[in-house]
C-alpha cells in the first residue's frame, strides 16, 4: 500500500517536506508516496504550489485536506499557532501526523496534543527535529551509547542565528506570544534541546536567563512590542548527574546555523557544528588533540545519497531520512521520534528555561500547569 500525503503550508519547511516526500523512494527504495492534496491560505497559492511541488490537487481549506479519504498522513508546516488545531483534527480523522517544531504555542497545548496522540495509538506522530537525522549526529549518538567516550560528564551546546539581528527588521507574528509562542527558545533552542536529550538523557533541572535585545520593531501602524525572547542562556543538571550549558540567540551577528555541541566524556570528547555538518571531531584519551572525521558511507544513511566519502550531504537530505523513518514506523517498523510524547518533554524543558529567570526549575514542575 502506498501512502497518500496531504501537505499544509508552503514556506521554507513546506518545500522541505515536499522534496522529502518526492525523494524518499528514489533514495531509500520502496513505494513512492502519493502526493494527494496541498493546502495553503488561498486557492491561487495552493494551486500554484501544488503544481510546483507535484501534488495532484489543491485547496484553501485545510480541514478538507486532513479529512480527505485518500490521505493517510498529513505534513503540517504552518505558523506555530495553527499546529494544535491542525494536528488534533488530523489525528481525529485517523491520519498519521508529521508536524514541524515547535510542537505548540504553549505547554498546555502541547500536553493536550500528546494526550490526543496517546488516545490514537495506531497513528504515528513525528516532530520535525531533522538535525537528529544527520549521519554525523547518528554516528556520534551511537558512539555515546556504546561507551566509546566513556561516561558522559558534560554537554556544551549553542544554537545561534542572526535572522533578527537587524533592529530595522519589521515586526511579525513570530515576535508575539499569541502567534509565535516562545522566541529563540521555540524557534532554535528546541532543536538544541532535542540533540541534548538524545545524547545526554533526561534533564533534571535548569537555571536560565532570557533577554529581548530589540524591544520594539517597526510596523506599518507604528512601532510594535516584541513579546518573546531574542536569546536565552541556561545551566543544566541531567538526571545522570552530568552537567551542561546551553545558549541560543536569534540576534547573533554573523551566525547562520551555528548548531554547535560538544559531549565531554571520561574517555574522550565529541564535537560537532551544523555549519560544517559533514564533519565530526573526536578526541580519545591518550591522543594529543582531535581527529577530524569526514562524513561518508560508513556513517548511517549517508550511502543512500552518495557512495563516496567526503562529498557531503545537506539540510534537505536530513528531511528525506526523517520521511523514511516515518514511513517505516507507519508500516510497522521501528518507532520513530520524537513523537508527541517525546515532544512534550522537549517543550517542558524550554518552557522551564523561559520560566526560570535565574532560579532553578525542574521541568516536571510544569506538568500540572500543562494538564
pLDDT digit string (tens) for 219-262? 999 999 999 999 999 999 999 999 999 999 999 999 999 999 99
* Environment class of 215 (CB within 10 Å of its CB; exposed 0-12, middle 13-18, buried 19+): exposed
> Average pLDDT of 97-113?
97
> What's the pLDDT score for residue 170?
97
- State how far the Cα of 262 lies from the Cα of 196, in Å rounded to an integer: 9
User: Model's pTM, two decimal places?
Assistant: 0.96
List, for residues 15-39, the tens digit of each pLDDT value. Answer: 999 999 999 999 999 999 999 999 9
Count of H helices and E strands in the chain?
A: 11, 16
List Cα–Cα distances, 266 to 109, 144, 147, 154, 202, in angstroms.
Answer: 40, 11, 10, 10, 19
> What's the pLDDT score for residue 369?
57
Give the model's confidence band at 364: pLDDT under 50 very low, under 70 low, under 90 confident, else very high: confident
> What's the pLDDT score for residue 371?
47
> What's the pLDDT score for residue 40?
97
> Average pLDDT of 273-298?
97
> What's the pLDDT score for residue 368?
52
> Average pLDDT of 115-121?
97
> Average pLDDT of 321-337?
97
> Average pLDDT of 138-143?
98
> Looking at the predicted structure, is the pLDDT value of residue 64 above 90?
yes
Give the model's confidence band at 272: pLDDT under 50 very low, under 70 low, under 90 confident, else very high: very high
Nearest to 347 by CA among 217, 183, 193: 193
For residue 102, cis peptide bond before it (omega within 30 degrees of 0): yes
> What's the pLDDT score for residue 261?
98
> Looking at the predicted structure, is the pLDDT value of residue 191 above 60?
yes
Q: Report CA torsion sign: 55, 57, 61, 65.
A: negative
Amino acid at each position: 500500500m502506498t501512502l497518500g500525503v496531504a501537505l499544509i503550508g508552503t514556506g521554507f519547511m513546506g518545500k522541505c517536506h515536499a522534496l522529502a516526500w518526492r525523494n524518499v523512494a528514489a533514495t531509500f527504495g520502496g513505494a513512492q508516496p502519493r502526493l494527494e492534496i496541498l493546502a495553503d491560505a488561498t486557492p491561487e497559492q495552493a494551486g500554484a504550489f501544488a503544481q510546483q511541488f507535484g501534488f495532484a490537487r489543491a485547496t484553501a481549506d485545510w480541514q478538507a485536506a486532513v479529512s480527505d479519504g485518500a490521505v493517510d498522513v498529513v505534513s503540517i508546516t504552518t505558523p506555530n499557532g495553527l499546529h494544535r488545531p491542525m494536528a488534533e483534527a488530523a489525528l481525529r480523522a485517523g491520519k498519521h501526523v508529521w508536524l514541524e517544531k515547535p510542537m505548540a504555542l504553549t505547554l498546555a497545548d502541547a500536553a493536550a496534543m500528546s494526550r490526543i496522540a496517546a488516545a490514537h495509538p495506531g497513528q504515528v506522530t513525528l516532530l520535525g527535529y531533522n538535525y537528529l537525522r544527520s549521519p554525523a549526529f547518528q554516528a556520534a549518538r551511537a558512539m555515546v551509547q556504546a561507551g566509546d567516550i566513556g561516561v558522559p560528564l558534560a554537554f556544551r551546546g549553542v544554537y545561534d542565528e542572526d535572522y533578527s539581528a537587524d533592529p530595522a527588521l519589521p515586526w511579525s507574528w513570530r515576535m508575539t506570544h499569541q502567534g509565535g509562542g516562545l522566541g529563540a527558545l521555540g524557534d532554535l533552542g528546541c532543536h538544541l534541546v532535542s540533540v541534548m536529550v538524545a545524547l545526554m538523557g533526561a534533564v533534571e533541572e535548569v537555571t536560565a536567563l532570557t533577554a529581548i535585545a530589540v524591544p520594539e520593531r517597526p510596523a506599518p501602524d507604528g512601532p510594535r512590542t516584541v513579546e518573546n525572547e531574542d536569546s536565552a542562556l541556561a545551566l543544566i543538571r541531567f538526571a545522570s548527574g552530568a552537567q551542561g550549558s546551553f545558549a541560543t540567540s536569534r540576534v547573533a551577528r554573523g551566525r547562520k546555523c551555528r548548531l554547535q555541541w560538544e559531549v565531554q566524556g571520561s574517555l574522550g570528547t565529541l564535537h560537532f557544528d551544523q555549519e560544517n555538518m559533514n564533519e565530526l571531531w573526536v578526541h580519545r584519551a591518550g591522543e594529543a588533540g582531535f581527529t577530524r572525521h569526514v562524513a561518508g558511507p560508513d556513517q548511517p544513511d549517508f550511502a543512500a545519497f552518495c557512495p563516496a566519502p567526503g562529498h557531503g550531504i545537506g539540510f534537505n537530505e536530513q528531511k528525506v531520512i526523517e520521511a523514511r523513518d516515518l514511513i517505516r514506523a507507519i508500516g510497522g517498523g521501528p518507532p520513530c521520534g520524537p513523537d508527541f510524547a517525546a515532544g512534550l518533554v522537549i517543550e517542558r524543558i524550554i518552557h522551564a528555561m523561559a520560566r526560570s529567570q535565574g532560579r532553578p526549575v525542574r521541568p516536571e514542575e510544569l506538568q500540572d500547569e500543562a494538564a
